[in-house]
Structure 1
Amino acid sequence: MSRRRVLTGSGAAALAAGTASVGPLLWVPPASAAVRPGGVHLMYGKNPKHRMAVSWSTPAGVRRPRLELGLDRTYGLTVPAESRSTKDLGTVYHHVDLRRLRPGTRYHYRLSHKGASPVTGTFRTAPKVQRPFRFAAFGDMGVNAAAAAHVALIRRMRPKFAFVVGDLCYADTSGGTGVGGPQTQDFRVWDQWLNQIQPSAGHVPWMTTVGNHEMEEGNGELGYSGYLDRFQLPGNGVKGAPVTYSFVHGNVGFIALDGNDASYEISRNLDYLGSAQDQWLRRELAEMRSDPEIDFIVVGFHNCMYCTNLVHGSDGGNRSRWEPIFDRYSVDLVVNGHNHCYERTHPLRDGAPVIEAPRGAVIDSTRGTTYLTAGGAGQAVYPTGGRPISYVSIEGGVRVPETTEWSALTNEVHSVAFLDAVPRNKRGVAKLKLTALSTDGKVIDRLTLKRRR
């Protein structure tokens, strides 16, 4: 049956507004038909109400990789995948960018290729009207027992999506420094990580950003080619920086930045965008702040703007570039990773705390921006934070000591942050409730941000 016949048949009618769009197909040599799809992961498009990308991999090239989509297990719509090869591996990554989906709708999908047993799953688009929702926030995961336990924890907590702030799998352990050469690289780790997260990422989107470990030597000028081979990103970010994007879910606007473009500590990609990322950030924040439906703004990137941990400390490049912008547009929450720990600041303006926010506090987020380090998702923890004196990396990578009165709470255990967004009540007050959980589900921090319109 031709694709045209499938798209115009009764299955397409059942989907009503549901259609799909894909890029050009990349031909790859066929592999054994016994190979099943693996490493399944989802990402929202720029409009989560109407767009979802489904990605998966096979150990080698296959014939006719495709996705079937429907409102039930009869499916009805068949879409061929765009396939991409990658550096040093036989693995091929397949992507389908689904568009014009119905808001708030549960879809069934089936992934297959010629001669293979299919893999099935479901996903739900963002709702048309505002409702309470939960998302997970974390970085620095890797492939290990703690990371696998966190995938299980995320499934139990049932977030609508995960906001993952870089250093995903550590396939290149040089971390953007270039030290060590090819022996620091094992790109098979990418497939291990994608298979590890599939129990969650195959059903809810994992919205990822790049960290220093995504700057892989030999993978393009910026080192991002391997990352881009494996993810179908929203594509509405800075021109020349496809790793950046924004989206809105409910009453929260999300912005994913490339922290490597502003980092003084690890300067491999410093200033590769010139002023373009800052200009784009200002436009996005201005648009979000003018939208009456958006209460909270959450910005995510890898490098720490404020962290007492002595392994990486704080990055003055990100601070000097973006803190004035965050202050101007009253960003509510900034999520970072990089330091393998948990830490939260008091609300800050111009680098200084404006009010105290101990564990359990309820604060007016219009007073200042809260900076969250959520880098304890799996890699070995860094037990060197919470000190009254830490340091900030300034231009040239020089570490300058600084006092840390801005730090509200630190914890060195593995952990994941969960945030519950609550739309405005009858008094016009919206809430964003943070709960940080250790691997075994114990609460290590709580905080409630509130805003009134």
Structure 2
Amino acid sequence: MTESPHSGLLGSAPTRRTLLKAGLVGGAGVAAGPTLWTRAARSAAPAAGVHLSYGADPTSGMNVSWSTAGSVQAPRLDLGLTPDYGLRLDADSVSSLRVDSVYHHVDLSDLRPGTRYYYRLSHDGGSSTRGSFTTAPEAGESFRFAAFGDMGVADDAARNVNLIRQQRAEFAFVVGDIAYADEGGMGTSRESQQHFGVWDEFLTQIQSSAAAIPWMTTVGNHEMENGNGELGYNGYRARFRHPGNGAAGGQETYSFVRGNVAFIALDGNDATYEYKRNAGYLGAAGDAWLEMQLAIFRSRSDIDFILVGFHQCAYCTNVAHASDGGVRDRWEPLFDRYQVDVVINGHNHCYERTHLMRAGKPVREAPRGSTVDTNDGTIYITAGGGGASAYPDVLPKMSYYTNAQGLKIPELTDYRAVGDATHSVAFFDAHPRDAQGRATLDLEVVASDGSKVDTLTIGRTR
């Protein structure tokens, strides 16, 4: 029997579902969506802003996204276990508000776990862009990931992109305020306050990392772009692809499991009391989805840690935005009930970490360099030092939270364990259980200049 040119590329022979999702039927190239025809002057431009994201299962799914300077003919991805490739997949292409760029996406499924794949991006009449990625291995191996928010386009942001590469993170979890296309941040900006071309600058800035490892993003208040759809998210949706398994089937909420860690991405704009633009649009349906995910993950014997990421801060002393009573009221009871281990936020452009929290109070101290057990409580981290202008760390003994009426209510800050105003990235090393049944999640926060900001060993015993 003659071997198929596609055999060996995927974990099993490509299914019809896989080929349909990728724009192929029966192995022959057929466009999955509307074809975007080229303007000859732009057809020679190569792919730009290449970035990856996991599918719902990181061991077998990967999304590859890129842009071209305008509409092109037959945008495609070639995939293989070697640079000889062997499988060609057509892209799904979409445009976005007030930019000429077109954004292309290929959704890959049925890949082999722990396997390196080579890809080539091209279109008719254009030069190609090459890269590679590695799917997540089966459970049982340690891995490192990066977590941060509030990056933008800036020198400090570019330094953090290089830091992520130097630290050999296997993926990044980005908790909102990505490119700052909408400068106002409340979803009501005038046209003069919006710079949608900055998305392309941002994607170019991160390509050296994001073309090789997944960047899993969530929306922040600066992703609410006035005039860009009902929620203002059309610009974000045009540029990013995520698992699509969240509340209401959108791209803003989703979950995935990597090794022994479950990740849940939420939309803080839905819960915040600070901004009204998208508050409550998911509401009870979103909370029901969240509780279902938490219950499933906490019941699974192969999952040790649950990490939740969203933009607005549950606990932060920084006076710029401080804490948000909306996310506390909506989600903290669920985090307590299902013993969420770590919550990661941005919004305040600084780094801060709490002691272990239950029912709105610190229950165990967690000083820098210590070892804690999250069976006792949840650690809340503000990782907003991604690159946007840093907020000063004033070290207040009193801060505030925003209540349902939008008022700033003073409160003691006895929950604060560590704080720093330096641009930084939080790195986590997840380790499987040892012989005593104890798994660990080692936190190391590194400033853009390479200095250490914080360390903590987080343990959980089943």
Normalised-by-shorter TM-score class: over 0.9
Query: Does the 8 Å CA contact 1:374/1:416 hold for their aligned counterparts?
Result: yes
Deviations 1:164-191 (A, max 9, x none): 0000000110102514x10111111000
Q: Which residue of 1 aligns with 2:323?
A: 314
Aligned to 1:22: 22
Looking at structure 2, the residues matched to 204 and 159 of structure 1 have their Cα atoms a distance apart, in angstroms, of 8
Shift of residue 116 of structure 1? 1.3
**Match of residue 352 from structure 1:** 361
List per-residue Cα deviations over 1:108-151 (Å, max 9, x = no partner).
00000011111010101111232000000000000010000100
Alignment of 1:385-404 (within 5 A): 385-404=394-413
**Which of residues 200, 224, 232 is equivalent to 2:241?**
232
The one-letter code matched in structure 2 to 1:256 is A
- 1:211 paired residue among 206, 217, 220: 220
Residue 142 in structure 1 maps to residue 152 in structure 2:
yes
How far residue 371 of structure 1 moved from its aligned partner, in angstroms, is 0.2
Give yes or no for contact 1:39–1:195 (8 Å, CA) kept in 2. yes
Q: Which residue of 2 aligns with 1:11?
A: 5
RMSD: 1.2
Equivalent AA in structure 2 for residue 140 of structure 1? D
The aligned residue for residue 35 of structure 1 is 45
- Give the structure-2-normalised TM-score: 0.95
1:377/1:416 contact within 8 Å kept: yes
What's the counterpart of residue 103 of structure 1? 113
- Alpha-carbon distance in 1 for matches of 2:271, 2:124: 45
Q: Which amino acid aligns with 2:22?
A: V
Equivalent position to 2:124, from 114, 122, 138 = 114
Q: Is the 8 A contact 1:136 1:159 kept in 2?
A: yes
Q: Which amino acid aligns with 1:77?
A: L
What letter matches 2:8 in structure 1? A
Closer, same or farther: CA 329–433 of 1 in aligned 2, 3 Å: same
SS at match of 2:7: helix
How far is the alpha carbon of 1:273 from its aligned partner? 1.2
Q: Residue 18 of structure 1 contacts residue 102 of structure 1 at CA under 8 Å; is this kept in 2?
A: no
Residues of 2 paired with 1:26 and 1:256: CA distance?
A: 30
Q: Which amino acid aligns with 2:73?
A: R
Amino acid at match of 2:59: K
Note if contact 1:165-1:210 (Cα within 8 Å) is conserved in structure 2. yes
Q: What percent of counterpart residues are identical?
A: 55
Deviations 1:222-279 (A, max 9, x none): 0001100001111000015431000000000000001100000112111111201111
2: distance between equivalents of 1:144 and 1:450? 36
Give the whole-Å Cα distance in 2 for the aligned partners of 1:118 and 1:240: 33
Q: Which residue of 1 aligns with 2:426?
A: 417
Alignment of 1:278-297 (within 5 A): 278-297=287-306
Give the AA of the match of 1:76.
Answer: G
**Any idea what the Cα deviations from partners look like across 1:275-326, whole Å, max 9, x if unmatched?**
0111101000000011100000000000000000000010000000000000
Q: What CA distance in whole angstroms lies between the structure 1 residues aligned with 2:139 and 2:446? A: 29
Residue 418 of structure 2 corresponds to residue 435 of structure 1:
no
Instruction: Report the equivalent of 1:382.
Output: 391
Does the CA-based 8 Å contact 2:374-2:459 persist in structure 1? yes
Partner SS for 1:178: coil
Please point out which of 134, 138, 152 is paired with 1:128.
138
- Secondary structure at the aligned position of 1:417 is classed as strand
- Aligned equivalents of 1:10, 1:147: Cα separation in 2: 45
Residues 253 and 294, structure 1, Cα contact 8 Å, conserved in 2: yes
CA shift for structure 1 position 104: 0.7
Paired residues of 2:187 and 2:222 also in contact (CA < 8 A):
no
- Contact persistence 2:228–2:234 (CA under 8 A): yes
3-state DSSP of counterpart to 1:67? strand
Q: Distance in 2 between matches of 1:264 and 1:149?
A: 33
Question: CA offsets, 1:374-399, max 9 Å, x none?
Answer: 00010000004421100100012111
Are residue 48 (structure 1) and residue 58 (structure 2) matched? yes
Q: Give, as a single letter, the amino acid of the residue that structure 1 aligns with 2:111.
A: L
Range with greater deviation from structure 2 (106-115 or 239-248): 239-248
Structure 2 alignment gaps of length 5 or more = 24-31
Q: Which residue of 1 aligns with 2:175?
A: 165
- The amino acid across from 2:35 in the alignment is W
Q: Quick one: which amino acid aligns to residue 29 of structure 1?
A: W
Task: Give the conservation status (yes or no) of the 8 Å contact 2:393–2:420.
Answer: no
CA contact (8 A) 2:317 2:400 kept: yes
Report the equivalent of 1:363.
372
Cα distance in 2, alignment partners of residues 194 and 176 from structure 1: 23
Q: Verify the 8 A CA contact 1:48 1:126 in the aligned structure 2.
A: yes
Q: Secondary structure at the match of 1:264?
A: coil
The CA distance in 2 between the partners of 1:119 and 1:240, in whole Å, is 31
The alpha-carbon deviation at position 196 of structure 1 amounts to: 0.4
1:423 partner letter: P
Q: SS of 1:447's equivalent?
A: strand
Provide Cα deviations, 1:329-358, integer angstroms capped at 9, x if missing partner.
000000000000000000000011111111
Tell me the CA shift for residue 418 of structure 1. 0.2
Q: Is 1:91–2:101 an aligned residue pair?
A: yes
- Tell me which amino acid in the other structure corresponds to 2:291: R
More divergent stretch after superposition (235-244 vs 364-373): 235-244
In 1: Cα distance, 2:461 partner to 2:13 partner: 36
Q: Which residue of 2 aligns with 1:67?
A: 77
CA distance in 2, matches of 1:51, 1:355: 39
TM-score (norm: length of structure 1) = 0.96
Contact 1:18 1:101 in 2 (8 A): no
